[in-house]
Amino acid sequence: MKSSPLPLTMIDLFAGAGGLSEGLSQAGFRSLYANEVVPRYAETYALNHPETLIERGDIRAVDASLVRKKLGLRKGQLDLIAGGPPCQGFSINAPKRSSDDERNSLVHDYLRFVDEFQPRAVIIENVPGLVSFENGATLQSILTVLGQHGYESDVKILYAPHFGVPQTRWRTIIIGLRDHEITEKVFPDPVREAPVRVNFTSNFAGRNIVAIPKSMELPSFVTVKDALDDLPVLENGEAGTPEKSYRSEPQNDFQKILRAGSASVVNHESARLGAINIKRMKHIPAGGNWTDIPENLLPKGMKRARKSDHTKRYGRVHPDGLASTILTKCDPHWGAYFHYSQDRTFTVREAARIQTFPDRFHFTGSKVEQYEQVGNAVPPLLATAIGQSLVKVLETKISSNKKKAK
């Protein structure tokens, strides 16, 4: 991961455990400040980004002007504000019109910081469903209001496997630039091929906004086995020591990158499955799911399901495939979270690997809290790809301004 030669600065709002900041830092941004309302998430962020000023609390109670002055920045001096404010239901005309009234105002709080700092760029990330919410009205409101605040903006839906993330995860990414024309170049081009199944609305304003590979000769996606096979073997329910030795030397570039700066494996403890799930798991081959389980062992609700439904539930991932989207808990009832060769579910570290957190990134709190932090995060490798494209655009603008000044 190549860093920018320029000291680009950023702040991260709705920061979570720091997946977005982690990836953007690898692209050359230095996080000066982060705000996160959940104390445990903020604790993990602080542990892994000790040089960043972390504010724990509700952003609605934060004075953006005081934050800017505390950081010693002039308006317009900051390079980037990034974050994932809840967006569903947002409207510049009627911000209180949906059932999620409490959350809708949070976009306005994000914009308060934008107005106060006037950064050169903004990034807003959200789920793909944002595009179809209220028939696109919410997304259009966000783009319109960014324009009113001085930012030309655009939107793309990015598929994480196209950028080296070994799971079927999609994110909607909005990027805005101040005093600079926005073009396709501000979004990253896919660098890997991967099987794609679009099950959401991908058209907005008369165009398809899913980023697609421009080359037919890209390397293949990173598989689950590529991502995990150097980690220690564990039995169901085995905790072991807090720090464990790697199973082998790095076997590929993915493992080399994620092991950089780490001498041991942490957050790698197996959750204990109940007796019924152990029985179910024995019947599921790699790549299989609940349909492989004998009917007498199925949960009552699944006995009534069609064989074509819920194809990820009680799934055992195929080692040569992509993982299910990592959620806030690796519960086999909700996805393919059985290990491909070990009779157990994914550990926090394995979920973090699939999310592309580096091994040196430590998660705090209970296992439940750790899974939540991992599942709610933006995959760092995806954030790095976004950051690298943005860095190129910002550096070009800096060079252009220097030439004009001479």
Instruction: Give the pLDDT of residue 94.
Output: 43
User: Which of 348, 372, 362 minimizes the C-alpha distance to 231?
Assistant: 348
User: Which of 25, 114, 105, 116 minimizes the C-alpha distance to 70?
Assistant: 116
User: Average pLDDT, stretch 26-42?
Assistant: 97
For the chain, what is the mean pLDDT?
92
Q: How far apart are alpha carbons 285 and 315 in whole angstroms? A: 9
pLDDT at residue 81 tops 50 = yes
> Of the segments 44-48, 94-98, 197-201, 301-305, which one has the largest average pLDDT value?
44-48
pLDDT at residue 401 tops 70 = no
Instruction: Give the pLDDT of residue 6.
Output: 57
Instruction: Give the pLDDT of residue 221.
Output: 98
pLDDT at residue 200 tops 70 = yes
The two three-digit tokens of residue 169, written as one number: 């995860």
User: Average pLDDT, stretch 107-121?
Assistant: 96
User: Average pLDDT, stretch 153-162?
Assistant: 97
pLDDT in tens, 202-250: 999 999 999 999 888 999 999 999 999 999 999 999 999 999 999 999 9
Contact 30, 7 (CB under 8 A): yes
Non-local (6+) Cβ contacts of 149 within 8 A are 111, 114, 115
pLDDT in tens, 331-347: 999 999 999 999 999 99
pLDDT band for 4, please (50, 70, 90 cuts): very low
pLDDT in tens, 315-333: 999 999 999 999 999 999 9
Q: End-to-end CA distance of the chain, in Å?
A: 33
Virtual CA dihedral for 218, 159, 141, 68, nearest 10 degrees?
-90
Which residue is catalytic, options 87, 131, 210, 390? Answer: 87
The DSSP-derived string for 240-252 is --SSB--SSS--S
The two three-digit tokens of residue 280, written as one number: 């179910």
pLDDT at residue 404 tops 80 = no
User: Average pLDDT, stretch 178-189?
Assistant: 88
Instruction: Give the pLDDT of residue 91.
Output: 55
Query: Which conformational region is residue 202 in: left (phi greater than 0), alpha (psi within -120 to 50 degrees), or beta?
Result: alpha
Domain ranges of the chain: 8-216+380-405
Active site residue 87: yes
pLDDT band for 183, please (50, 70, 90 cuts): confident
Instruction: Give the pLDDT of residue 227.
Output: 98
By percentage, how much of the chain surpasses pLDDT 90?
Answer: 80
Q: How far apart are alpha carbons 313 and 335 in whole angstroms? A: 4
CA distances to 87, 95, 126, 201, 258 from 134, in Å: 12, 13, 15, 12, 39
The two three-digit tokens of residue 267, written as one number: 């957050």
How is domain 8-216+380-405 classified at the architecture level of CATH?
Answer: 3-Layer(aba) Sandwich (3.40)
The two three-digit tokens of residue 405, written as one number: 């000044």
The DSSP-derived string for 227-285 is HHTTSPP--TT----SSB--SSS--SHHHHHHHTT-SSB-S--PPPPPHHHHHHHTT--
Instruction: Give the pLDDT of residue 121.
Output: 97
Instruction: Give the pLDDT of residue 1.
Output: 44
pLDDT in tens, 352-381: 999 999 999 999 999 999 999 999 999 999
